[in-house]
Amino acid sequence: MKQEFTRIAVKVGSNVLARRDGTLDVTRMSALVDQIAELHKSGVEIIMVSSGAVASGRSEIHPQKKLDSVDQRQLFSAVGQAKLINRYYELFREHGIAVGQVLTTKENFGTRRHYLNQKNCMTVMLENNVIPIVNENDTISVSELMFTDNDELSGLIASMMDAQALIILSNIDGIYNGSPADPNSSVIQEIGHGKDLSNYIQATKSSFGRGGMLTKTNIARKVADEGITVIIANGKRDNILVNLLQHPEDTLCTRFIPSKEPVSSVKKWIAHSEGFAKGEIHINECATEVLNSEKAVSILPIGITHIEGEFEKDDIVRIIDFRGNQVGVGKANCDSSQAQEAIGKHGKKPVVHYDYLYIE
Ligand SMILES: Nc1ncnc2c1ncn2[C@@H]1O[C@H](COP(=O)(O)OP(=O)(O)O)[C@@H](O)[C@H]1O
Ligand SMILES: N[C@@H](CCC(=O)OP(=O)(O)O)C(=O)O
């Protein structure tokens, strides 16, 4: 059965683009560009998230003295990103397709204004038939405020751009139900909502990657819960992208089944903004129960036991249940002192309104 996606995000991992010795695998890049060009020409809108800046810079520059990891990242990505985007530009030009570079940082997703600004940038590119090629701006990213890796960034982009699918290309055929090195393990082809994969994932990651399979899995689950199909596949296999879309049943990969319930655009932003949370709202047992039910409910002061941290109205806050587990993220409807004052009282305005509440 052919997949009728009209807008997809494609994330290409460092290991797909780098050879064993760390040099840029231009043959692989060219093959991927050919596939993306084919899909683009058939009417699919594509947003690329490409890693590889650090890997391609590392093989270019040989520093005289030993550099610490931050200096290395900044130096290699500055040189490597220029090289990477230049290659993409030339390769896509052969197909008559324009590409544009979008370099971003985690901070650029912190407020709704910044978020919508980036969404607008990529929307206008797509409207003008330009393929956005996104990467984290490693050169200026502050270590503590970086994305875990580009898998996290690609999840955010897919969600922000309302993509129907996110395809994560790595150097492996999918998620194995054991060590990928063990001949008895095989690729899990479909993953439904709520399946625990923690036993399968090894801490090992490929030589040039940053996050490993665990971040891929966590991100894939979150994005699939927002209604987006997530596919993890091997970017080193010939014609993989075209096959995934045109012959999905015969193409080896791991597919996360998307939730059928639509998630609003603002809730998607909130879902990915947890890292910017300024405070915590702790709720009692009764409020936890209602929140876990199918009902659409807001966080009312009557169900709050205590507040931690200081926040302003419209800041992102975490929702913590009576057992101390995080159950959601929301946008505060008032500041922390107003919330504090209202705790336990009836008939007060919600501290987090349902429309701005994302339950995990
Ligand atoms: N259960 C598993 N199934 C597949 N890969 C796994 C598993 N556990 C760990 N891995 C590792 O995750 C790696 C892919 O993640 P990563 O290094 O971040 O790649 P990328 O650079 O493409 O983002 C694989 O090469 C593999 O070594
Ligand atoms: N922004 C970095 C990406 C690092 C990263 O997340 O790599 P990967 O785990 O291979 O997707 C780069 O371009 O080198």
222 and 293 part of one domain: no
| 187 in a structural domain | yes
Q: At what angle do helices 213-225 and 150-160 cross, to 10 degrees?
A: 10
- Ligand 1 residue neighbourhood (C-beta within 6 Å): 13-15, 170-172, 175-176, 180, 200-202, 204-206, 209, 211-213
| 66 in a structural domain | yes
Query: Considering only CA atoms, which of 254, 261, 355, 360 is closest in space to residue 299?
Result: 355
- Residue 91 belongs to domain spanning: 7-263
183 and 328 part of one domain: no
234 and 97 part of one domain: yes
256 and 309 part of one domain: no
Spatial contact of 50 and 133, defined as CB atoms under 8 Å apart: yes
| 271 in a structural domain | no
| 317 in a structural domain | yes
Query: Considering only CA atoms, which of 77, 79, 101, 78 is closest in space to residue 89?
Result: 101
Number of residues written out for the chain: 360
| 91 in a structural domain | yes
Domain total of the chain: 2
Q: Where does a domain end: 263, 298, 329?
A: 263
Q: Whose CA is nearest to atom 8 of ligand 2?
A: 209
In testing the pocket of ligand 2, which one of 25, 49, 54 has its CB within 8 Å of the most ligand atoms?
54
Q: Where does a domain end: 237, 263, 289?
A: 263
- pLDDT tens per residue across all 360 residues of the chain: 566 899 999 999 999 998 888 788 999 999 999 999 999 999 999 999 999 999 999 888 999 999 998 999 999 999 999 999 999 999 999 999 999 999 999 988 888 888 999 999 999 999 999 999 999 999 988 887 788 889 999 999 999 999 999 999 999 999 998 888 889 999 999 998 877 777 777 666 555 656 678 888 989 999 999 999 999 999 999 999 999 999 999 999 999 999 988 788 888 888 888 888 989 999 999 899 888 887 778 999 999 999 999 999 988 999 999 999 999 999 999 999 999 999 988 888 999 999 899 988
Taking the C-alpha atoms of residue 311 and residue 334, their distance in angstroms, rounded to an integer, is: 8
**pLDDT recorded at residue 180:** 87
- CATH for 159: 3.40.1160.10
Taking the C-alpha atoms of residue 256 and residue 158, their distance in angstroms, rounded to an integer, is: 14
pLDDT in tens, 206-219: 556 566 788 889 89
pLDDT in tens, 189-238: 999 887 777 777 766 655 565 667 888 898 999 999 999 999 999 999 99
15 and 108 part of one domain: yes
ipTM metric: 0.96
297 and 246 part of one domain: no
111 and 142 part of one domain: yes
117 and 199 part of one domain: yes
Whole-number Cα distances in Å, 154 to 173, 236, 345? 19, 19, 42
How is residue 357 annotated by DSSP?
E
